[in-house]
Structure 1
Amino acid sequence: MLQPTPPPKRRGRLVRSGAAALALFAVAGYLAVQYVTGGAGAPGCKVVSGGSEGTTYEFTPEQAVNAATITAVGTARKLPERAVTIALATALQESTLRNLDHGDRDSLGLFQQRPSQGWGTPEEIMDPAYSAGLFYDHLVEIPGYQDLELTDAAQRVQRSAFPDAYAKHEPDAALLAAALTGRSAATLTCDGRPGATREKGPDAVRAALVRDFGRAVFQPAGATAGDASAEPAAASRDGGGGGADERTVTLPVAADSAREADEDLRERGWQLAHWAVANASSLHVERVSYAGREWTAGSTDSKWAPSGTRGAQGAERAAGAVRITSMR
């Protein structure tokens, strides 16, 4: 039986009610996206595959900083890229790479570790470098962890109620690990918009480097722990005579030995360069240069462009140092 057509006034109320409901759904969807990404707008960072497949992963500056810290802590311990990939996938699942001050029961931080289960004090767990180090402590105790399925290795550390959840993050974690360990060159970029932080300038850059890598990050190849060259200078000057010199931190590409392979040195350089870009918003970094390439905050697509007058290939062979210039 056909229903009578509602009178015009009622039909208007129905339209308005429907529009209001759609608006509420849109707001709820927006808030859900912001909760997941941890950002107030579009992601500001992107990593692309170094191969021909062209896969990408976009993420926020907050996530970039935490991913760079997790990676730096792992490589400072001489752990393989596989360990870093497992750690990044775990943090993507547990916290979406955000340093959460809440969670299930008393879970906290990047890895949602619980003080009541012996993972440390709340203050310790909320320190990304500490929590990453503790995750690696447990990971390396697992026999043959590099040969396990990622979700199996992560679950043996985390003891999660959702043991299969880590696997879906492996592709993104692998992209991040390749860039942040330096194996994949010039593949991580950020827009470099300054965040709401008082940390800026070369001293803030040095402090963050020591926090993530340790003081050995300032050692040139072949230096020993007691060398004066291992200490960061109050202001790194490159001798160019420009105002940027006093704002520039110059990092030697550190190695265990002066005879270390060129490929290892190149990867170390790109790790430091990508670390600086990942921290650009929080530390107000204006420019990062390495191996004949330069990233500049706010430039079109934030790409790594050729720098200087020498060709990129020639500069790549004589990579030299990583230079991190702060904003004025």
Structure 2
Amino acid sequence: MPKPSPSPKRRGRLLRFGAACVVLSAVAGYVVVQYVSGGTDDPGCRVVSGGAGGATYEFTPEQAVNAATIAAVGTDRAMPERAVAIALATALQESGLRNLAHGDRDSLGLFQQRPSQGWGTEKQVTDPAYAADIFYEHLAKVPDYTELPLTVAAQRVQRSGYPEAYAKHEPDATVLAAALTGTTAATLTCNGRSAADATATGPEAVRAALARDFGRDALQQAGAENGARDGAQDASAASSPAPEAPAAESSGRTVTLPVTENTTAGGRSVGERGWQLAHWAVANASALRIERVSYAGREWVSGNTDSRWRATGSTSTEAAGSTGAGGGAGGVRIVTAQ
């Protein structure tokens, strides 16, 4: 004989018990994730506009590293901030600021560039610094691109099937470009918790990453001593600093990048250059295990959920360089985990 079906009352109890188990499992999973991640949630990085009550954009450490590379390559080419905003909006649309190893047909990388269309080899277009550089090379050939609507300028380079899509990223790209070119001060923060795959640490890793993004000439002017962007794989081979700029100072876990009139590039002010380097270091904090960055009387320390830039109490530097557009103070001090 077939077993009798559970009574409606018993079925209700079973359903309630099952639902409770699902809820408890979800709560337990959340607690475990919070414990493992130190209580922080993605995305982990945040940038705000320089004005009071301005726009905010939140993004992941992976996106922060790629955005910082795009901005660094642009300023190394003496491209204006508008060009950096166009490049960032394009990468946000094409890849979400992720270095993709796939795409439509043979599209690859941050900008989904196609080797078959002459953008470079697969290896090249998946190198963020190369991809950004060749994007700017094409953008510079667009007549009056700084006066064009962002979506038009981006489309002249990309030839996308959906040109209107770039426009929606303009607000975020504009705020991000201002921070990563140093126009706004102390506006980019990250929680700084080390990425699981962060294996490059110490001052040499910081120098290699700087060489990768800013290139040899810019780093010589900034006092750093490692090789060119296209030779970043062997950046441990030191190059001679420019005569007028002192070499970057290293002491244990600390790298200090001098920021003076001799270290600026592309007509940028001392303060802008300093804040660009400082924000670059924060954007790379998770990947390079950077614990502390200080510049112009402000300091960022990793591991805090707010990770705000705080005054260091240094009266000699607090006034100078307090805004990206003016002044500057000494150098950018980067302290690594080891």
Answer whether TM exceeds 0.5 for this pair: yes
Number of the residue aligned with 1:200: 201
> Partners in 2 of 1:273 and 1:77 — Cα distance?
19
CA apart distance, 1:315: 6.9
1:85-96 to structure 2, matched below 5 A, reads 85-96=85-96
What residue in structure 1 maps to residue 241 of structure 2? 229
For residue 251 of structure 1, the aligned residue among 253, 257, 264 is 257
Query: TM (normalized to structure 2)?
Result: 0.78
Cα deviations across residues 32-51 of structure 1 (Å, max 9, x unaligned)? xxxxxxxx952100001101
- Alignment match, 2:275: 270
Correspondence for 1:296 among 298, 301, 309: 301
Instruction: Give me the whole-angstrom Cα distance separating, in 1, the residues matched to 2:41 and 2:120.
Output: 34
Report the alpha carbon displacement of residue 254 of structure 1 after superposing the two structures with TM. Answer: 5.5
- Are 2:330 and 1:320 aligned? yes
Query: For residues 245-269 of structure 1, what are the alpha-carbon distances to aligned partners after superposition, in whole Å with 9 as ceiling and x for unaligned?
Result: 31111112264589x98x7110000
Secondary structure class of the residue paired with 1:134: helix
1:31-180 to 2 correspondence within 5 Å? 41-180=41-180
Q: State the alpha-carbon separation in 1 of the partners of residues 271 and 246 from structure 2.
A: 23
What residue in structure 1 maps to residue 284 of structure 2? 279
Structure 2 counterpart of 1:202, which letter?
P
Q: Indicate the SS of the match to 1:289.
A: strand
Task: State the distance in 1 between where 2:205 and 2:294 align.
Answer: 18
Q: Once the two structures are superposed, what CA deviation does each residue of 1:263-299 show, in whole Å capped at 9, x if it has no partner? A: 7110000000000000000000011111111111113
1:121 and 1:315, CA in 2 relative to 1: closer, same or farther beyond 3 A? closer
Structure 1 counterpart of 2:257, one-letter code: L
- Give how far 1:54 is off: 2.3
Structure 1 vs Structure 2: percent identity of aligned residues? 65
Is the 1:217–1:254 Cα contact (8 Å) retained in structure 2?
no
What TM-score results when the alignment is normalised by the length of structure 1? 0.80
Cα distance change, pair 221–58 in 1 and its aligned pair in 2 (3 A): closer
Q: Secondary structure at the match of 2:252?
A: helix
Conserved? CA contact 1:178–1:184, under 8 Å: yes
Structure 2: unaligned runs, 5 residues or longer: 1-6, 27-39, 225-238
Alpha-carbon distance between aligned partners in 1 of 2:98 and 2:263, rounded to the nearest angstrom: 36
Higher mean C-alpha deviation, range 40-49 or range 200-209: 40-49
Answer whether contact 2:281 2:334 (CA < 8 A) is retained: yes
Partners of 2:263 and 2:257 in 1: how far apart? 16
Supply the distance in 2 between the matched residues of 1:301 and 1:83 (Cα, whole angstroms).
Answer: 30
Residue 165 of structure 1 aligns to a residue whose secondary structure is helix
Distance (Å, rounded) in 1 between the aligned partners of 2:155 and 2:289: 37
- Give the distance between the partners of 1:120 and 1:291, measured in 2 at CA: 40
Residue identity opposite 2:132 in structure 1: A
The yes-or-no answer on 1:211 pairing with 2:212 is yes
**Rounded Cα–Cα distance in structure 2 between residues aligned with 1:45 and 1:279:** 10
* Alpha-carbon spacing, 1:126–1:10, altered in 2? closer, same or farther (3 Å): farther
Q: Distance in 2 between matches of 1:233 and 1:325?
A: 19
> Does structure 1 conserve the Cα–Cα contact (< 8 Å) formed by 2:125 and 2:131?
yes
Matched to 1:236, the amino acid is E
| Structure 1 residue 11, shift from structure 2 partner | 7.3
* Structure 1 pair 297–136 and aligned structure 2 pair: CA distance change class (3 A): same
- Report the CA distance between 1:215 and its aligned residue: 2.0
1:12 CA drift (Å): 5.3
User: Cα 1:55–1:120, aligned 2, differ >3 Å: closer, same or farther?
Assistant: same
Alignment check: 8 A CA contact 2:221 2:263 kept: no
| CA positional deviation for 1:218 | 3.5
- Say what the alpha-carbon RMSD is for the aligned residues: 3.4
Which AA in structure 2 matches 1:45?
A: C
Please tell me the residue identity of whatever aligns with 1:321. G
Query: For the Cα contact (< 8 Å) 2:260–2:330, is it kept in 1?
Result: no
Describe the superposition over 1:174-204 as per-residue Cα deviations: whole angstroms up to 9, x where unpaired: 0000000000000000000001221111100
Aligned-pair distance for 1:220? Answer: 4.9
Tell whether the 8 Å contact from 1:287 to 1:324 is kept in structure 2 after alignment: yes
